[in-house]
């Protein structure tokens, strides 16, 4: 077995790669051991996932949704404390139990709609707004490239020959190397809001309305372009698996009334 990124032997790898980080609510979408080697797994966690997760907008999203990292923490964000002493900045976080707790330099409070209620005074925090908070750049596109390539491997994971073909196909070298090294500074991607992050849908297995956290798919256009499409809390991201180009995706959207590929019948055969 070889790693899909560095192409080196990965038979002894022991870490399981989460395609979407656990800190964005993903538990189940993982790759089998060895598809991504331990060295690349650790590298991506440090150099690709972490910069995305530490972006101020994404930290605020994770804070609002109360997403617990694999270390059992919810991000600290900057709030404003209003009490008898006036108004001053203060770091704020939550605890999974939602009970008020004090720890270290940050203050932990329970949440009440638009403000956080502590023992004294109130703490106000900025609200995540997709119209103002979405960001672009190499941090984002390397993150998308890494997830896109891993998801393609996820779709092929049942067949070792297909995985080897994915590793050896030159068509995917650009996106693989962009995820690893980020040498293409202006790799384009599509980012847009397609539904509210609080949207829920009926789950027939639990017979309950559940929040939609993430959705993933591959769009294959009539021009044989492969686009990875992902929605995280209602924000749709799309990136071309074949190279640094996005015009074909915008053309597809125009032809399909701007409906997300995640919600339209399409050819899913690989």
Tokens of 26: 């993903």
Asked if residue 108 and residue 174 are part of one domain, the reply reads no
Asked if residue 225 and residue 194 are part of one domain, the reply reads yes
- Please give the DSSP secondary-structure letter assigned to residue 195: S
Of 117, 109, 148, the residue nearest 5 (C-alpha): 148
Tokens of 45: 């966690």
Asked whether residue 24 is assigned to any structural domain, the reply reads: no
Give the CA count within 13 Å in the CB-facing half-sphere of 112. Answer: 10
pLDDT digits (tens, 9 = 90+) for 120-138: 567 788 888 877 778 789 9
Greatest extent of the chain over all pairs of C-alpha atoms, in Å: 68
C-alpha distances in angstroms, 129 versus 156, 212, 225?
Answer: 36, 17, 32
Does residue 102 or residue 127 have the better pLDDT? 127
Tokens of 251: 């053309």
Residue 24 near residue 52, CB atoms below 8 Å:
no
Of 211, 226, 214, 221, the residue nearest 253 (C-alpha): 221
Domain span holding position 146: 135-263
**How high is the mean pLDDT of the chain?**
85
Provide the pLDDT for residue 265.
59
pLDDT digits (tens, 9 = 90+) for 145-155: 999 999 999 99
Please tell me the total count of domains within the chain. 2
Provide the pLDDT for residue 255.
94
Q: What percent of the chain has pLDDT over 90?
A: 56
Answer whether residue 112 shows pLDDT above 50: no
Asked if residue 148 and residue 107 are part of one domain, the reply reads no
How many CB atoms lie under 10 A from the CB of residue 70?
A: 11
Asked if residue 149 and residue 172 are part of one domain, the reply reads yes
The size of the chain, in residues, is 270
Asked if residue 123 and residue 236 are part of one domain, the reply reads no
Measured over the CA atoms of residue 190, residue 191, residue 193 and residue 198, the dihedral's sign is positive
Residue 252 near residue 221, CB atoms below 8 Å:
yes
Helix or strand run (H / E) with residue 139: helix 138-156
Asked if residue 256 and residue 171 are part of one domain, the reply reads yes
Hey, what's the torsion of the CAs at 169, 173, 175, 179, to 10 degrees? Answer: 120
Q: What is the pTM of this model?
A: 0.86
Asked whether residue 4 is assigned to any structural domain, the reply reads: no
Domain boundary among 97, 129, 161: 129
Asked whether residue 192 is assigned to any structural domain, the reply reads: yes
């Amino acid at each position: 077995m070889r790693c899909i990124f560095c192409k080196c032997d990965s038979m002894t790898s022991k870490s399981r790669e989460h395609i979407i980080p656990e800190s964005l609510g993903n538990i189940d979408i993982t790759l089998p051991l060895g598809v991504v080697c331990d060295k690349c797994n650790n590298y991506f966690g440090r150099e690709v996932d972490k910069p995305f997760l530490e972006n101020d907008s994404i930290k605020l999203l994770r804070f609002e949704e109360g997403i617990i990292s694999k270390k059992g923490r919810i991000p600290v964000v900057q709030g404003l404390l209003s009490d008898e002493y006036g108004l001053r900045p203060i770091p704020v976080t939550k605890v999974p139990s939602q009970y008020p707790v004090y720890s270290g330099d940050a203050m932990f409070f329970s949440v009440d709609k638009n403000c956080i209620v502590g023992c004294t005074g109130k703490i106000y925090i900025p609200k995540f707004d997709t119209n103002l908070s979405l960001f672009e750049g190499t941090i984002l596109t390397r993150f998308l490239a890494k997830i896109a390539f891993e998801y393609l491997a996820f779709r092929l994971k049942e067949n070792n020959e297909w995985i080897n073909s994915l590793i050896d196909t030159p068509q995917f070298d650009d996106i693989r190397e962009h995820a690893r090294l980020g040498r293409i500074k202006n790799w384009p991607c599509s980012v847009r809001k397609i539904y509210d992050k609080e949207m829920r849908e009926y789950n027939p297995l639990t017979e309950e309305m559940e929040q939609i956290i993430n959705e993933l798919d591959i769009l294959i256009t009539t021009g044989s372009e492969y686009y990875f499409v992902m929605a995280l809390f209602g924000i749709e991201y799309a990136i071309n698996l074949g190279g640094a180009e996005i015009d074909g995706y915008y053309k597809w959207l125009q032809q399909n009334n701007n409906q997300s590929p995640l919600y339209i019948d399409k050819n899913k055969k690989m």
